[in-house]
Structure formats: C-alpha cells, structure tokens
Amino acid sequence: MDPVLLLVFCLSCCLLLFLWKQNTRKGKLPPGPTPLPIIGNILQIDVKDICKSLSNLSKAYGPVFTVYFGMKPVVVLYGYEAVKEAVVDLGEEFAGRGDTPIFEKLNEGNVGIVLSAGKKWKELRRFSLMALRDLGMGKKSIEDRVQEEAHCLVEELRKTNASPCDPTFILGCAPCNVICSIIFQNRFEYTDQIFLDMVRRFNENSEVLSSPWVQICNMFPILLDYCPGIYKKVVKNVVHFKSYIMEKIKEHQVSLDINNPRDFIDCFLIKMEQTKQNQDRVFLLENLVITALDLFGAGTETTSTTLRFALLLLLKHPDVTAKAQEEIERVIGRHRRPCMQDRSSMPYMDALVHEVQRYIDLLPNSLPHAVTRDIKFRNYFIPKDTTILISLTSVLHDDKEFPKPKVFDPAHFLDKSGNFKKSDYFMAFSTGKRVCAGESLARMELFLFLTTILQNFNLKPVVDPKDIDTTPSSNGFVSVPPNYKICFIPV
C-alpha cells in the first residue's frame, strides 16, 4: 500500500476511535468544552497561563469539569468545596497519581514517593515518613540543624558587604544543606563547587519544567522523542543527580552499621536487607535513588523558591517588613537565635509566612492525582485511573476566604485582635492523602530562615519598591519568581 494512503488510513482510524470514545462517554464524565480530534482542548488552554484558562472554563462549566489534553480526558476540581469533597472526604479514592509523561520518562520506570501509586506508594511513603521522623523530622534535633544552617546563611549574606546581589544560589544552599544532612548526614560549605553545581542544576530544572514547552510535552508526550531540545538539559541534570546519589549509596554500603543508621540512605539499605525475600519487592536500589531524588527536589527547590519570592515581596512592601522586624525585636531581640517556640508569640511573622505561600501559589495545580476506582462524584461518572487536576489556585485565591486574594497582605491570617488565624483554605502543601511529606520541615525552614534574615538585615531594593514586579517569570509546574537583586544591610 502507498505510504501516504497508509498514513491517511491510520489517521482516519484514530479519529474514528476518538469520536467513538467521545460518544460512548458522553453524559458520564463532567461537562467541558468540546474537544477536537487528536489535539483535544489545546486551543482553549493557554500553556503560558493554565490557571487563567481553568478559571475561565470553571465559569462556564462549574467547579467540576473535563478538559482533554490531547486525547486524554482530565477532570478538573476548582474551588474549595470540590477539592475538599474529593481529596479530603474521598481521600482514598482520589489518592492515585495521574500521568506526568515527562517525569515518568525521567524515572525510567522506577518509583519514588512522588510519582508512585497504589501499594508501592503506600509502602514507600509510610517508610519514608517513619524514617524521617526517626531522623528528627518535627523534633528538636532537626530544629537545631535548621538553626545552625540559618546562622551559616546569615554569615554568607554578610559576605555580600551590602552590595546588590542575586540571592538565588545563596537561598538555594540553605535548604539543600538541610536535606543533605538528612539523606547523607553531611552538609557543604557554600563555596563548594560540587554543591553549587547541584543547586544550579536544581534551579535550572525547575525553570525548564515550568516552561510552556514542557506543558505541551506533557499533553503530547510524542514530542519528547521527536523534538527533545530543551528536554535534554533536564535529562542531563537528572543523570548527574542519580550518579551522585549512587556514589553516596555505595559509600554507605561499605560503612553500613545496621544497628546504628546515620541517615535516610542507611535506613533504606537496612529496609532493603529486611525485605529481600519478599516476592513483590519495593525496597530496591533503583527505587532508593529515585526516592532520594524526590526528597532532594521537594526539600530544596520548593523551599528556596518560596524564600526568593518572600524577599521580593518584602522589598515590594517595606511596611510589612517593618512590622515583622518590630515583632522580632520585641520577642527575640538582636542576639538570641530564633526558635520554633517563638512562633506562638509572633502572630504577625507567622501570618507573613502563610501569606507568602498563599500569595505566590507555588504549585498552582499541585501534581496530578488519579481516581483509584470507578467512582460516582457529584452525579458524574469518573472511570478508574482518570487523571484529576486540582486547582490549588482556586482555593488559595478564593475571595470569600481571602477578601483581597490578589493583594499581598498578612492580615489575611490575622483576626481583629491581631492574633494568628488558621484557615482551612491554606493548602500550600496540597491536602488529603497526597499532602507534602516534608510539610513540617518546610514550615520550620521558612519561619526560621526568614526570621533570622530579618533579625540580622534590613532589605534594600535596587529600584523603587513601586517599580518592583512580583509576577512569576513562569508558572507551569511551579511558579518561578523573576530575577532580581537585593542589598542585605546589617542591622
């Protein structure tokens, strides 16, 4: 058969199959815009601003609707009520992991705690949480590490001599060192070239993975094979990370003492030995590499990006900075190191940290979930394994809960008496069964790092505060702050 005719025949079959599936599913999935064959609803979605596209679609189709990324249906949950009803009230049913082709390709079929699902995910997550707790997560021992790292961060900032500097790498080093101490039991000097290269690669991957191009590749995975381009940079960095982690694992295997685990790698290696006779093994060497990489990525880039955004917002709002510093001076003073016990006496600083996370909306749509079984939800039928997209933006920027959602204002988390006010709408770490495993560590780092910086420095912008633009440079997978310079003036 003529190659051209064969191609036309194959395409026609694909179109007919697609249209048949659409017809058989009509009236089952939640409503949504009519998809086109092959490309789905790509024309209704702005890959440069997916959040805005979902907001517009929710106005037309309600809080639960379906969009097609290529030929694949994705159910979107928009607004607090829909998100809570699904992810919290029906947590088990919505605890699957949706398709993320680019990440799955990078993992090469191995599993960690971020992309896995089902029994494997439950085993890895349960083990990881227990190991992290045993290593000090949420305890005084890990607080001591964070305090010491905050001190090192301040000393490094002093070396800028109050000159304009880009804080990206310095702010990346602090949380990276904390997670290094948990995974490898060692920290690095801020001048260590291996360490700086690691932080640079994490930052580079975060920016690439949030680009519009990657959003398109996740909708049409075939593009990764035929137009790899920028994707090769991410692959190169991930290969580098895996190689480094594997070197550390080999070092640990030589010096392992099963009665005295030093760090996360030791804990995992001991678990591997204990379960080596299991028929369906989860604790394998390749899964240790991916799990360690998951912890690295989640523990480094998200916290450092939030810190960068926080300082930019404080430059933009000097009145907020002044109020926070007044509280720090009154409660802690100049010479004592801040500690987590201080937070209960510092409602404004606590509210400031929460407002930074709410305002920047770091993970606009979380990571995709999936339903673990066929389920009827709000009178709609959602088949097993259907990808679920959770709009965290719609919750964090809900104008019923936060009167001025597009305005940065710590008062969103303060009552009329100035006391800290909790909000069920604060889902910066997601919610439900898939809530961030490192939430307690991230909360501790953000409070202690920011409080210590404001205790020791006045923040000076290089332009007039009213000219500072806090709009993310990209907000695909994560919201990435624009580049800026800042002066740290010792107090």
- Structure confidence by residue, pLDDT tens digits, 318-329: 999 999 999 999
307 alpha-carbon distance from chain centroid:
13
- As a whole number of angstroms, the distance between CA 276 and CA 283 comes to 8
Q: What integer pLDDT is reported at residue 103 of this predicted model?
A: 76
- As a whole number of angstroms, the distance between CA 185 and CA 135 comes to 10
pLDDT-based confidence at residue 26 (cuts at 50, 70, 90): very low
Q: What integer pLDDT is reported at residue 25 of this predicted model?
A: 47
SS3 484: coil
Q: Residue 234 pLDDT > 90, yes or no?
A: no
What is the arithmetic mean of pLDDT over 151-157?
Answer: 96
- As a whole number of angstroms, the distance between CA 358 and CA 326 comes to 23
- Would residue 333 be called left, alpha or beta, if left means φ above 0 and alpha means ψ between -120 and 50 degrees? left
Q: What integer pLDDT is reported at residue 16 of this predicted model?
A: 45
pLDDT-based confidence at residue 5 (cuts at 50, 70, 90): low
Q: What integer pLDDT is reported at residue 207 of this predicted model?
A: 82
Q: Residue 356 pLDDT > 50, yes or no?
A: yes
Q: Residue 174 pLDDT > 60, yes or no?
A: yes
Q: What integer pLDDT is reported at residue 252 of this predicted model?
A: 95
**Which of residues 204 and 64 earns the better pLDDT score?**
64
Q: Residue 81 pLDDT > 60, yes or no?
A: yes
The helix (H) or strand (E) run that includes residue 457 is: strand 457-461
**Choice among 10-19, 369-378, 410-419, 463-472 with the minimum mean pLDDT:** 10-19
What is the arithmetic mean of pLDDT over 208-216?
Answer: 78
Q: What integer pLDDT is reported at residue 443 of this predicted model?
A: 95
SS3 384: coil
Long-range contacts of 267-276 (CB under 8 A, 24+ apart): 267/127, 267/131, 267/134, 267/135, 268/127, 268/131, 268/292, 271/127
What is the arithmetic mean of pLDDT over 226-243?
Answer: 81
Half-sphere exposure of 43 (CA within 13 A, CB side): 8
pLDDT tens per residue across span 44-69: 988 878 888 999 999 999 999 999 98
Q: Residue 232 pLDDT > 90, yes or no?
A: no
Cβ neighbours, 10 Å, residue 444: 23
Mean pLDDT of the chain: 89
pLDDT-based confidence at residue 296 (cuts at 50, 70, 90): confident
Half-sphere exposure of 466 (CA within 13 A, CB side): 0
Q: What integer pLDDT is reported at residue 19 of this predicted model?
A: 46
Q: Supply φ then ψ for residue 90, to 5 degrees.
A: -115, 45
Q: Residue 214 pLDDT > 80, yes or no?
A: no
Q: How, if at all, do strands 72-78 and 387-391 pair?
A: parallel
Q: What integer pLDDT is reported at residue 475 of this predicted model?
A: 76
What is the arithmetic mean of pLDDT over 418-422?
Answer: 97
pLDDT-based confidence at residue 168 (cuts at 50, 70, 90): very high
Q: Residue 12 pLDDT > 70, yes or no?
A: no
Q: What integer pLDDT is reported at residue 446 of this predicted model?
A: 97
Q: What integer pLDDT is reported at residue 221 of this predicted model?
A: 77
**Which of residues 350 and 224 earns the better pLDDT score?**
350
Q: What integer pLDDT is reported at residue 467 of this predicted model?
A: 95
pLDDT tens per residue across span 245-278: 999 999 999 999 999 999 999 999 999 999 988 8
